[in-house]
């Protein structure tokens, strides 16, 4: 690719005309990207692999993407720096897990009670202005924010049953940084370990459970085999995940390959949306590994109230964060006023 760029910038008019001639197409070297996802191998089969396969099939000799799963090339917490420096070309992750140094990082993954349904994510990004904010924040640090999409909700899967807030106290839980910071208010002990180590940590007692996903991911990742209970209450209705690319690598692509990437990534967002939405209901009803528990609505409202206090604290830390919190607050207010099916009960 370097030789090709150098040739195109130094070649004379005759060489450029030869390249443009329609009768003969000289073989060109492939553009090769390396993309690493936050997801482990089993989960990647659903959340990213179909998109990579479609893109590679359509792009053919022009471009190919090599897919790497969680921690395969670099630890997940170093994904941002590796992409920024060009060690890897693209990333699928939330902002929080990859330690993004932006003002919007705290909202990536699971920002407590900001979202009730998976459709909330694309609406917030496409109709309420979050897409512009994310793109501007990442441009400041030399990274292209390509698109955002929704994943599953955030529920607890644990070794012990959770039937009240008191049952959360002292539990060692694998979760996302911001979610863990919030859950500490209820006695949860957040634990950060590599994704692929979670299953063994649950077996050895290093972990008491996870607040990392919904029930679909628990079954897909094998965590349902090493936990016993699933709490139906969640602290977020959807995970916000993104596709990012090194800005220089992105700018080098011809416009039609940029468009193809965006189309395939949007198809990936759509795949996850129905896969998670259907799986969350089906596995609650038909799954045999996990017993369901629920905290009474009146008691769970204390968690929701604490989340809104958490929003206020985040808003006080920067102008950009205050703007995002206000958008989230306005969106939820509109959804509540719209009534069913958008919102019902207290929000």
Q: Where are the domains of the chain?
A: 29-150+239-278, 154-238+288-338
CA atoms within 13 A on the CB side of 237: 15
Q: Is the pLDDT of residue 15 over 70?
A: no
Which tens digit of pLDDT belongs to each residue from 170-220? 999 999 999 999 999 999 999 999 888 999 999 999 999 999 999 999 999
Percent helix, strand, coil in the chain, to 5, is: 50, 20, 30
Q: Mind spelling out the 3-state secondary structure of 259-287?
A: HHHHHHHHHHHHHHHHHHHHHHHHHHHHC
Which tens digit of pLDDT belongs to each residue from 300-324? 999 999 999 999 999 999 999 999 9
Q: Is the pLDDT of residue 282 over 80?
A: yes
Please, are residues 109 and 115 in contact by the beta-carbon 8 Å criterion? no
pLDDT at position 141 is 97
* Distance in angstroms (rounded) separating the CA atoms of residues 34 and 249: 11
How, if at all, do strands 143-150 and 154-158 pair? unpaired
User: What is the reported pTM?
Assistant: 0.88
φ/ψ bin of 248: left (φ > 0), alpha (ψ from -120 to 50), beta (otherwise): alpha
Which tens digit of pLDDT belongs to each residue from 48-65? 999 999 999 999 999 999
- Per the DSSP assignment, residues forming a β-bridge with 236 are 154
Please provide the CATH number assigned to the domain covering 29-150+239-278.
3.40.190.170
Q: Do domains 29-150+239-278 and 154-238+288-338 have the same CATH topology?
A: yes
pLDDT at position 344 is 76
Which residues, 6 or more positions from 134, have their beta carbon under 8 angstroms from its beta carbon?
Answer: 104, 125, 145, 148, 242
Q: Domain 154-238+288-338's class?
A: alpha beta
């Amino acid at each position: 690719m370097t030789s090709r760029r150098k040739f195109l910038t130094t070649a004379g008019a005759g060489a450029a005309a030869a390249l443009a001639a329609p009768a003969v197409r000289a073989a060109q070297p492939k553009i090769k990207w390396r993309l690493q996802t936050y997801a482990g191998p089993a989960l990647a089969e659903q959340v990213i692999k179909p998109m990579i396969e479609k893109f590679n099939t359509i792009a053919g000799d022009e471009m190919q993407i090599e897919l790497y799963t969680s921690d395969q090339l670099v630890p997940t917490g170093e994904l941002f720096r590796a992409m920024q420096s060009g060690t890897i070309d693209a990333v699928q992750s939330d902002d929080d897990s990859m330690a993004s140094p932006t003002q919007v990082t705290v909202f990536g993954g699971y920002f407590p009670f900001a979202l009730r349904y998976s459709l909330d994510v694309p609406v917030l990004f496409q109709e309420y202005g979050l897409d512009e904010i994310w793109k501007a924040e990442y441009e400041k640090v030399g990274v292209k924010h390509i698109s955002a999409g929704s994943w599953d909700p955030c529920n607890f899967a644990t070794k012990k049953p959770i039937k009240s807030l008191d049952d959360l106290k002292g539990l060692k839980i694998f979760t996302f940084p911001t979610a863990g910071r919030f859950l500490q208010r209820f006695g949860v002990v957040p634990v950060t370990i590599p994704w692929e180590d979670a299953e063994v940590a649950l077996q050895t007692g290093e972990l008491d459970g996870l607040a990392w996903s919904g029930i679909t991911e628990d079954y897909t990742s094998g965590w349902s085999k090493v936990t016993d209970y699933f709490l139906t209450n969640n602290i977020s209705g959807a995970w916000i995940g993104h596709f990012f690319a090194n800005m220089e690598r992105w700018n080098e692509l011809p416009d039609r390959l940029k468009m193809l990437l965006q189309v395939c990534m949007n198809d990936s967002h759509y795949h996850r949306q129905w896969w998670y939405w259907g799986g969350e209901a089906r596995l609650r009803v038909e799954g045999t590994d996990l017993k369901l528990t629920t905290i009474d609505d009146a008691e769970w409202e204390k968690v929701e109230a604490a989340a809104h206090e958490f929003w206020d604290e985040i808003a006080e830390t920067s102008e950009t964060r205050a703007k995002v919190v206000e958008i989230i607050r306005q969106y939820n207010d509109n959804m509540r006023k719209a009534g069913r099916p958008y919102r019902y009960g207290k929000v």
